[in-house]
Chain A
Amino acid sequence: MNFWTDPVNVAAEWLKDVFIGWGMTDPYATALVYLLGAFLLVALVMLLDVFLVWVERKVVARFQDRIGPNRVGPFGLIQPFADIIKLIIKEDITPAGADKVVYNLAPVLSLASVLLLWAILPLSALVYGVDLNVAVLYLVAAGALGTLAVIMAGWSSNNKYALLGAFRTVAQMISFEIPMVVVLLIPTILTGSMSLKTIVERQDIWYVVLTPLGFVIFLISAIAELGRAPFDLNEAESEIVAGFHIEYSGMKFGLFYAGELLHAFTFGGFMAVLFFGGYRFFGLEQIHPLVAVLILMVKALLGYWVIMWIKYTVPRIRIDHMLALNWKFLTPLAFALLVVTAVMHRLLGGTQPWVYALGLFLSNVVLLLAALEILRASARRQRRQEEAVLSAVAETAGH
């Protein structure tokens, strides 16, 4: 183990030795090193977040045939800092009827729930916060904390728009967590472990090939979980103005905004880890741990780009359509996929890798086609029923 091959751990060991040299006992030194590590990770992630604001604005501008920020710094790179300064010097408002504690806690919790996710994201084989053996469960649990923050904000603001936003959040987030959890079990079955690091290490063939349907379901439910368009019902600008964060101003709003962007990027990272081989890219990751980190970041950015692409292309779905999509389509499909994957994994477990991959891929395709056929048939049936009702009405009107 030397500094070149494993810089983070070597630096941590060295720092621990320094602390012990200062007369600390081993447990205290370890705790302090971990604390510093967490602090460093959060600081870097927040810095990344600032960069994401620029990415988002620039990419959107390109989607919309505009130039985007280009005045502050080269290519407008300093623009986010100008934004931050503006947000900080804005008046910080707490509405008169608000529940002050909950109201002020909500933005912090919102950002914290995203930062918590970075603890389990394996940046490379050697750079990670913690290799949790129930990381997949942790992912869902920490995500639920973000939901709680939204509900807290909506409830405590004492505003009808905010409350409507919170209502919608409850309906949306809770329902979309089900297909998400089910789909998360698929990489778990394929790997036999809930540890994200193990999942990455076992992905000689990217799981997006083995379970493309699972990836699509994960993408949809992740967008819903993020509350991004077309599922941005909880802050629907054109309907309930800003929904749950309507009453927030200045940096409190900034925390929600930063949390949202970072959340999207983080889910891009998890998509990369769960379905696109994480930090691995045809052996390139073995050059250096930081190259592996770079690979993951690029993959996460691509995922983030897809999420943005969807956001700036499609209109917003309505709440009843969204719930119907979730409960009548995604959830049953996710369960069916889980069963099919488990069976196929068991059946083809000992065969050639290419047979195994092809079998799983084809089973996904067949399942998707079957689901769409069922959907089409039911739509046809519904249409026929409606037509029957209409013609019956016309007949009675005619007589």
Chain B
Amino acid sequence: MTTAAPHDVPHTVQAGTPDLAARFPGLVAPDERSGYSGWIVTADHLVQVATALRDEFGYDLLSSVTGVDYLPEGKMEVVYHAFKTTGGPGICFKVQTGRDDPQVPSLVSVYPGAELQEREAWDLLGIKFTGHPDLRRILMWEGFNGHPLRKDWQEPYYEDEAKPFKSRSPEGHVYRFEDRNPFGDNVRYPEDFDPEKWTPENPEDLLYKSLKTYQAESPDGIETDHIVVNMGPQHPSTHGVFRFVVALDGEKIVNLKPVMGYLHRNHEKIGERNTYLMNMPYTDRLDYLSPMSNNFAYALTVEKLMGITPPERAEYIRVIMAELTRIANHCMCIGSLLNDLGAFFTPMIYLLEERDLILDVFEATAGSRMMVNYFRFGGVARDIPEDALEKIKGLAFERLPRILDEMDRLMSENEILRARGIGQGVLTAEDAIRYSATGPLLRGSGVPYDIRRADPYSIYDRFEFDIPVGKNGDIYDRYIIRLEEMRQSVRIIQQALKQMPEGPVMVGKPQYQFRPPVGESYGRVEGPKGELGFYIVSNGKPTPWRYHVRAPSFINLTAFGPMCVGQKVADTVAILGSIDIVLGEVDR
């Protein structure tokens, strides 16, 4: 945790990160804006610099790719955060381009994990990534007018740039802005646009065209037809409104394309209208199965920006809550994975019982079972009540260890689970890193990369715990790792309960309006699903200028297609289940 506000520190090369300006004189310049850090790379040499970063400096995991629209400066900026899988702080590099026709070379050839993220940046900000193999819209629909995250894009019923909207406060007369409009709506079309004459490109055609890019193999010279099957958006095993299209040769998959955005609500645009604190409950809705982790990551990022540190007791409460969330999330994940494998709800319901007990604790502490809204900048909303603390102790010291052993006995040695899991949906360690996979997906492939250990945040450096890693990178390894991670979480909770001091849970007075200093900040935690990061740019106003979520289940889906090719239809759902996605986070 940084103790000084970053904008006070003059720009120096951070210890442990390479001096890119010395390596690429003239091509790379340090970012010297106040409150910013990292490097600004010229667009033409981006691929060269990225390749060097990966190969020479060992930054092999491209964690986050996103864009920022600096409207007043008339610039677009693409921000990359790369990390080493061996641990340590990461490096941030940026590319700047004009706003009118922003073009940036694609990094998919260097880091394939950028594929979906670059598509997202194109979709929401209109930055064209030249050389991207499949640059289609991803969250909005094909034919959507404009790029909504641009600062000059205004939605229908646009009211104001930032909340609180005048129509709702301060008098509190809640009415819908559109009701005031005598014409019922205020939809404005761009000049020279006639909706009657406009026919968008058919997204389905584009999708199927990109699906047909596989090389048809026919070792015996027999040409067979392939069936195209749409799984989802309404499908019991996609865990929400996720859709993937598969080209099938019999039961074998020759190509797979994920389609998402059915639950898209432009979380980031809404986040940029909200004040900082208003976003806290809104992060609960991202990955609604692990709200505490989302709170954690967002609180860390804003605290980094403001340069405050929560008191000791609050840190311990945060860790306990985050680890309980991890257990609850893995319960859900293993349960639904077993369901996807065809177990008829029995393991699922056993595990849901444990999750319910954890949610009881959340309810007693935060007041809500799922939408907890519990963390605050500089602490947590309230202390854990005495009876909830007793419940946590009962869970951590008695119930959970016993139940986890019981589930292990019930499932792990099951012959069918082993046959369906071992050697299926293999993701090698190299591929996992290339596709920017994080969390259990990456560790299942044998890469011991856990942010709690690799780049410790909060007080995780005080606890003893192991990082379980898999061997083969298959479905079974991911399952076993989650089971083992739950045990490690229990260990952390046990230690935290023993060490937790008395004291306040909030630094200073609770406040509602925050004005962080100008600057940027990237905060990340090891969420149950992977690296959950927030990238926030502040311009000193009460609302963030840019609010970006690095959603682990969205980015882990990059590896989904490559993992499925060559497998059976029945395996796709199991592989998807082993990635563990939540659509609230994928679609945002």
Point out residues on A near B: beta carbons under 8 Å: 60, 63-66, 160-161, 164, 167, 229-230, 232-233, 236-241, 311-321
A241-B235 CB under 8 A given contacts A318-B571, A321-B419: yes
From A63, A160, A239, B227 is in contact (CB under 8 Å) with A160
Given contacts A314-B416, A315-B417, A317-B419, contact A64 B346 (CB under 8 A): yes
User: Known: A160-B227, A160-B229, A230-B416. Is A313-B569 also a contact (CB below 8 A)?
Assistant: no
Interface residues of B in 189-226 (CB under 8 A from A): none
Q: Is A64 in contact with B350, judged by CB distance below 8 angstroms?
A: yes
Known contacts A318-B420, A321-B419; A241/B346 CB under 8 A: no
Complex CA gap A318/B420 in Å reads: 7
Q: Which residues 568-588 in B have Cβ within 8 Å of A in the complex? A: 568-571, 573
Interface of chain B residues 407 through 423 with chain A (CB within 8 A): 414, 416-417, 419-420
Give Cα distance in the complex from A241 to B238, angstroms: 11
CB-based nearest A residue for B571: A318
By a CB distance below 8 angstroms, the chain A residues around B251 are: 164, 167, 319
The 9 A-B residue pairs with the shortest CB-CB distance, nearest first, are: A316-B342, A315-B341, A238-B237, A315-B343, A64-B349, A315-B342, A238-B340, A315-B416, A239-B570
Task: Assess the A320–B568 pair: CB atoms within 8 A.
Answer: yes
Q: Could you say which residues of chain B place their CB within 8 Å of the CB of A239?
A: 237, 342, 569-570, 573
What is the CA–CA distance of A167 and B569 in the complex, to the nearest angstrom? 13
Closest beta carbon of chain B to A390's beta carbon, Å: 12
A164-B251, A229-B343, A311-B344 given. 10 additional CB < 8 A pairs? A65-B349, A65-B353, A229-B344, A236-B342, A237-B236, A239-B569, A315-B341, A316-B420, A317-B419, A321-B419
Q: Is there a chain A Cβ closer than 8 Å to B338's Cβ?
A: yes
Q: Whose C-beta in chain A lies nearest to the C-beta of B567?
A: A318
State in angstroms the CA–CA spacing of A65 and B251 once bound together: 36
Assembled-state Cα–Cα distance A274/B227 (Å)? 44
Please indicate the chain A residues that have their CB under 8 angstroms from the CB of B153 in the complex.
none
Instruction: List, in ascending order, chain B residues with CB within 8 A of A161's CB.
Output: 229
Which residues from chain B sit less than 8 Å from chain A, CB to CB? Answer: 227, 229, 235-237, 251, 338-346, 349-350, 353, 414, 416-417, 419-420, 568-571, 573
Q: Shortest CB–CB separation between residue A155 and chain B, in angstroms?
A: 15
Whether A318 pairs with B346 at a CB distance below 8 angstroms is no
Min CB distance B162 to A, Å, is 44
CB distance from B423 to the nearest CB of A (A): 10
Q: In angstroms, how far is the closest chain B Cβ from the Cβ of A165?
A: 11
Report yes or no: A64 in contact with B345, Cβ–Cβ below 8 A: yes
A233 to B571, CA, bound (A): 13
Instruction: Give the Cβ gap from B378 to chain A, nearest Cβ, in Å.
Output: 42
Q: Which of B229, B343, B414 has its CB near the most chain A CB atoms (within 10 A)?
A: B343
In the complex with contacts A230-B342, A236-B570, A315-B237 CB distance below 8 A: no
A314→B570 contact, CB < 8 A: no
Chain A residue with the shortest CB-CB distance to B424: A318
Closest beta carbon of chain A to B550's beta carbon, Å: 29
Residue of B nearest to A324 (CB): B419
- With A238-B236, A238-B237, A241-B235 known as contacts, the answer to whether A315 contacts B350 (CB < 8 A) is no
In the bound complex, residues from chain A placing their C-beta under 8 Å from that of B571 are 318
Residues from chain B with a CB closer than 8 A to the CB of A238 are: 236-237, 339-342, 573
Residues of A within 8 A of B568 (CB): 318-320
CB closest chain-B residue, reference A313: B346
Supposing A238-B340, A239-B569 touch, asked if A315 and B420 sit within 8 A by C-beta, the answer is: yes
List, in ascending order, chain B residues with CB within 8 A of A320's CB.
568
**Chain A residue nearest to B339 in the complex (CB):** A238
Alpha-carbon gap, A350 to B267, bound state (A): 83
- Of the candidates B236, B350, B419, which one forms a contact with A241 in the assembled complex, judged by CB atoms under 8 Å apart? B236
Q: In the complex the two chains form, what is the Cα distance from A321 to B345 in whole Å?
A: 22
Residues from chain B with a CB closer than 8 A to the CB of A236 are 342, 570
Partner of B570, one of A66, A160, A318: A318
- Name 24 interchain pairs, CB-CB below 8 A, sorted by A: A60-B344, A64-B346, A64-B349, A65-B349, A164-B251, A164-B569, A229-B344, A237-B236, A238-B237, A238-B342, A239-B342, A239-B569, A241-B235, A312-B346, A313-B346, A314-B343, A315-B341, A315-B416, A316-B341, A316-B416, A318-B568, A318-B571, A319-B251, A321-B420
CB distance from A365 to the nearest CB of B (A): 21
Question: In the docked arrangement, what's the CA distance between A236 and B229, Å?
Answer: 15
- A314 and B414 contact, Cβ closer than 8 Å, known pairs A63-B346, A319-B570: yes
Bound-state CA distance A230–B414 (Å) is 12
Which residues of chain B come closer than 8 Å to A314, judged between CB atoms? 343, 414, 416
CA distance A164 to B570 in the complex (A): 11
Rounded to whole angstroms, the CA-CA distance of A63 and B339 in the bound complex is 15
Query: How many Å from the CB of A353 to the closest CB on chain B?
Result: 37
Q: Which residue of B lies closest to A63 (CB)?
A: B346
Q: Which residues of B contact A318 (CB under 8 A)?
A: 419-420, 568, 570-571
What's the minimum C-beta distance from B230 to chain A, rounded to whole angstroms? Answer: 8
Residues of B within 8 A of A64 (CB): 345-346, 349-350
Q: Which residues of B contact A66 (CB under 8 A)?
A: 349
